[in-house]
């Protein structure tokens, strides 16, 4: 396994100074910048689109880890690729043709990720492991920040880690939702090598970001 990567979610940033916030988490040691895109349809919240993401693309060279909580998703893949996404992750549950969506992302020259919600079993990934670069396990129901980690997802993380090892491919295993320092440790022990965190990174303001990220690394 690779060393754990920390991907702060800018959903928890101060939107009035988003560029400054992205610079601050970059300087504080973030490995990736996690972009949570929500449409008010697939999930009960609305965040932002490719124009906002593009506006902060120039303030950091860190990879943009783009999590699309939107349905239908295919029509928007080109726009997020053009706005500067490095990895585009789409939900298994968001449409009938996940394989086609992943093919589209790969065709755009981007890393392709698949997300599964808490109620979706790991076996749904069986016929996707040959083409994904990242699997994202939601450890809360998507749509809002600040939720509590769902403990049953640890077993799913372990199951997916075993699937990755059997595939023989270099696939990142990311966890998103309610990840604080204690849950981060348990996620890594279960097999995760990338962690999304919003509230636990941005808590306390910029002077605390480096310590918050360090705590997640354990």
Q: Active-site residue among 31, 39, 133, 176?
A: 176
Residue 39 a catalytic site member: no
Catalytic residue status for 14: no
- In the set 31, 36, 65, 193, the catalytic residue is 36
DSSP the chain: -PPPEEEEBGGGS-GGGHHHHHHHHHHTT-SSEEEEEEBSSSSS-B---HHHHHHHHTT--S-EEEEEE-SS-GGGHHHHHHTT-SEEEEEGGG-S-HHHHHHHHHHTT-EEEEEE-TTS-GGGGTTTTTT-SEEEEESS-TT-SSPPP-TTHHHHHHHHHHHHHHHTS--EEEEESS--HHHHHHHHHHT--EEEESHHHHTT-GGGHHHHHHHHH-
Q: Give the residue numbers annotated as catalytic, written as ranges.
A: 36, 176
């Amino acid at each position: 396994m690779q060393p754990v990567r920390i991907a702060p979610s800018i959903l928890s940033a101060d939107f009035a100074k988003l560029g400054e916030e992205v610079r601050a988490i970059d300087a504080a040691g973030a490995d990736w910048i996690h972009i949570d895109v929500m449409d008010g349809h697939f999930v009960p919240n609305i965040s932002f689109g490719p124009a906002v993401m593009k506006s902060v693309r120039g303030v950091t060279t860190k990879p943009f880890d783009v999590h699309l909580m939107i349905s239908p998703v295919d029509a928007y893949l080109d726009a997020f690729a053009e706005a500067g996404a490095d990895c585009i992750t789409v939900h298994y549950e968001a449409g009938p043709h996940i394989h086609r969506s992943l093919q589209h992302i790969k065709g755009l020259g981007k890393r392709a990720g698949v997300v599964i919600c808490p109620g979706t079993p790991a076996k749904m990934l069986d016929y996707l492991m040959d083409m994904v670069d990242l699997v994202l396990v939601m450890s809360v129901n998507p749509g809002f920040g600040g939720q509590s980690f769902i403990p049953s997802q640890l077993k799913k993380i372990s199951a997916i880690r075993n699937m990755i090892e059997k595939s023989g491919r270099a696939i990142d295993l990311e966890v998103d939702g309610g990840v604080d320092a204690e849950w981060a440790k348990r996620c890594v022990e279960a097999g995760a090598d990338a962690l999304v965190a919003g509230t636990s990174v941005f808590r306390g303001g910029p002077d605390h970001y480096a310590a918050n990220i360090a705590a997640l690394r354990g």
